[in-house]
Chain A
Amino acid sequence: MCTLPEPRRLPGDVAMWLFILAELTVFAILILAFAVTQRLQPEVFALGRAQLDTSTGLAMTYSLLSAGALAALAVQQVRLGRARRGSVLLLGAWLVALVYVWIKLTEYRHLIDAGLGLERSTFFTLYWIVTGFHFLHVLLGLVILAWLGWRCWQRQYLAPRLSGLESGVLYWHMVDLVWVVLFALVYVIR
Chain B
Amino acid sequence: MNSSVRLWLCWAGLMVLSLGTVWSGAAGVVVLLAMVKGWVIVDGFMELRHGPWKWRVAMLGWGLVVLAGIVGLSA
Contact = CB atoms under 8 A, between A and B. Distances in A.
Contacts, number: 117
B69 A184 contact: no
A185 B4 contact: no
Interface in B1-30: 3-4, 7-8, 10-11, 14-15, 18-19, 21-22, 25-27, 30
Contact of B25 (A65, A176, A188): A188
Interface in A36-78: 36, 38-39, 54-55, 57-58, 61-62, 65-66, 68-69, 72-73, 76
Contact of B18 (A24, A35, A65): A65
Interface in A1-49: 6, 8-11, 17, 21, 24, 28, 31-32, 35-36, 38-39
B41 A177 contact: yes
Given A8-B51, A8-B52, A184-B21, A28 B41 contact: no
A41 B10 CA distance: 37
B30 A189 contact: yes
Contacts of A185: 70
A86 B55 CA distance: 26
A170 interface: yes
Nearest to A11: B47
Given A184-B30, A184-B34, A10 B66 contact: no
A139 interface: no
B18 to A, nearest CB: 5
Contacts of A159: none
Nearest to B42: A177
Interface in B21-75: 21-22, 25-27, 30-31, 33-34, 37-38, 41-42, 44-47, 50-53, 55, 58-59, 62-63, 65-67, 69-70, 73-74
B30 A188 contact: yes
Interface of A: 6, 8-11, 17, 21, 24, 28, 31-32, 35-36, 38-39, 54-55, 57-58, 61-62, 65-66, 68-69, 72-73, 76, 170, 173, 176-177, 180-181, 183-185, 188-190
Interface of B: 3-4, 7-8, 10-11, 14-15, 18-19, 21-22, 25-27, 30-31, 33-34, 37-38, 41-42, 44-47, 50-53, 55, 58-59, 62-63, 65-67, 69-70, 73-74
